[in-house]
Amino acid sequence: MDKIKMTTPIVEMDGDEMTRILWQMIKDNLLLPYIDLKTEYYDLGLEYRDETDDQVTIDSANATKKYGVAVKCATITPNAARVEEYHLKEMWKSPNATIRAILDGTVFRAPIVVKGIEPCVKCWKKPITIARHAYGDVYKASEMRIPGPGKVELVYTAEDGTESRELVHSFNCPGIVQGMHNVNKSIESFARSCFNYALDTKQDLWFATKDTISKKYDHTFKDIFQDIFDAEYTKKFEDAGITYFYTLIDDAVARVMKSEGGYIWACKNYDGDVMSDMISSAFGSLAMMTSVLVSPDGNFEYEAAHGTVQRHYYKHLKGEETSTNSVATIFAWTGALRKRGELDGNRELMEFADRLEKATLDTIEEGEMTKDLALITTNPNPVVLNSGDFIKAIARRL
Ligand code: NAP
Ligand code: MG
C-alpha cells in the first residue's frame, strides 16, 4: 500500500514525561506506517527548552504562524520542584502561555464523546465546547485591603494629564477592593477566534456575560461581539446554517444543563476557568478532552487538555506497567492532520484522520480501554489494557 503523501508540513511540538512516551508510540504504530509524515519538529521537552533558553518554544510558535497547523504534546510548566529536578537555569514560563501570547489565540476545549462513557448530565448527547478568553479580568487585577474609613476611587489619567474619577465606595469600616481591566483589542481577537471556530466546526456559538449588572464592563464584551458579528459574520453564519446567540450568564448556565450539547460556549476568563472544569468532569474524564488554540487570523494548534501524567511516568521509569490513556493525544494528531488536509485539499489525509478516530472510538466501544475509562464505563466487562497494548488494539482496527 502506498503511504499517504503530504505537501505542507505540520509543526510538531514534542513534550515531556508520559505523554512524550505516548507521542512516540502513536507515531510508530498509528501514523508512520500509513502516512509519509511531513513535520517540522520542535523539541519542547524541558531539557531542550532549558538548553535553548526557551527559544525553541518561541520558534515553534512562529513556525505555527508560518504553516498554520501545529500539534503539541503536553509539557511541564516549571515550578520550584522542577527547577531542582531538572537543574534549570530559570523557571521558564508555561509553553502554552508563550505560544498563546505569540498567536494571540483562544483555547477551545471539547470532550470526546464515546458510547460506554456517559456524561453525568443525561440530556447531553453531543460535546459542549468551551472557549475561554485568556486575557485580563480578575487574572490581572490589582487588589487592596482597606484598613478603615476612607474613600476608594477609580482614576484614569489621560496622556494629556486630564483626570476622570469614579467612586468605588466610601468605606466606614475595613474592607477590600479590586480593580481589573481588559482591552478592546483582546476582546476583538477573542470574538473573531470564536466566530471563525464556529464556522470551522459548523456549530452554533453561545456567548454570555453579566451585562445587566455590569453596564460598562461586561456590556463592552457584548457590544464588541455583536458589532463584529454584524459587520463580518452575519452572512457567513447564514450560509453555514449556524447561529450566534447571546444571553445572560445565568440564563446560559440554566440552558446548558437542559441542552443536548453540540455548540460552542464562549466564556469570559473567569467563567471559562470554572465552567471548563465543570464540563470536563461531567463528561467523564480529563483524559478525553481535546484542546485547540485558534488565532484570530486562522492558525490552529491542537493538543490534549491533560498534562504530562507525571505519576504514570515515574512508574514507567521504575519498569512498572502503566495504563495511560492516549485518546486525547491521538485526537490532537487527527485534528491537525484533518486541518492540514483541509487547507491543502488533501482528501486522503482528511479521511485518514476520520478512520483513526473511528478506530479509537471502536476500540473503547468494543470494550478495550485504559484503566481510567474502565473505572467509569457503563460497559459491564471492560478489558483493561496497558499504554502500549491500547495503542496496538487501535492499530489492529485501523
Ligand atoms: P496531569 O498530567 O493532567 O495528571 C493528573 C492526573 O490525572 C494523573 O495523575 C492521572 O490520575 C490523571 N490523568 C491525566 N491524564 C491522564 C491520561 N491521559 N490517562 C490516564 N490518567 C490521566 O496533571 P498533573 O499531574 O497535575 O501535571 C503534570 C505536569 O503536566 C505538570 O508539570 C504540569 O505543569 C503539566 N501540565 C501541562 C499541560 C499542558 O501542556 N497542556 C496541562 C496541564 C498540566 P491518576 O494518577 O489517578 O491515574
Ligand atoms: Mg480551572
Residue 224 has pLDDT above 90, yes or no: yes
The residue that leads in pLDDT, 165 or 298, is: 165
The residue that leads in pLDDT, 179 or 104, is: 179
255 is in an annotated binding site: no
The Å distance, Cα 276 to ligand 2 centre, comes to 7
Residue 56 has pLDDT above 80, yes or no: yes
The strand pairing partners of 164, in sequence order, are: 156
312 is in an annotated binding site: yes
d(CA 18, CA 91): 21
Which DSSP string corresponds to 14-74?
Answer: E--HHHHHHHHHHIIIIITTTB---EEEEE-SHHHHHHTTTHHHHHHHHHHHHHSEEEE--
- What pLDDT is attached to residue 52? 98
In short, whether 336's Cβ falls inside 6 Å of ligand 1 is: no
Q: Residue range 29-50: average pLDDT?
A: 98
In short, whether 52's Cβ falls inside 6 Å of ligand 1 is: no
d(CA 15, CA 76): 8
> In the structure, what pLDDT confidence band is assigned to residue 280 with cuts at 50, 70 and 90?
confident
- What pLDDT is attached to residue 351? 98
Lookup: cell for 164 = 476622570
- What pLDDT is attached to residue 277? 83
Nearest to 123 by CA among 274, 256, 289, 278: 256
- What pLDDT is attached to residue 345? 97
Residue 63 has pLDDT above 90, yes or no: yes
- Mutate-to-test residue for ligand 1 from 75, 88, 306, highest number of ligand atoms within 8 A of CB: 306
386 is in an annotated binding site: no
- What pLDDT is attached to residue 297? 85
Taking the alpha carbons of 237, 266, 341, 370 in that order, is the dihedral positive or negative?
Answer: negative
Residue type, position 82, single letter: R
In short, whether 374's Cβ falls inside 6 Å of ligand 1 is: no
**pTM exceeds cut of 0.75:** yes
Question: With contact defined as beta carbons under 8 Å apart, do 64 and 299 qualify?
Answer: yes
d(CA 129, CA 45): 28
Question: With contact defined as beta carbons under 8 Å apart, do 209 and 267 qualify?
Answer: no
Residue type, position 39, single letter: T
The Å distance, Cα 275 to ligand 2 centre, comes to 8
In short, whether 286's Cβ falls inside 6 Å of ligand 1 is: yes
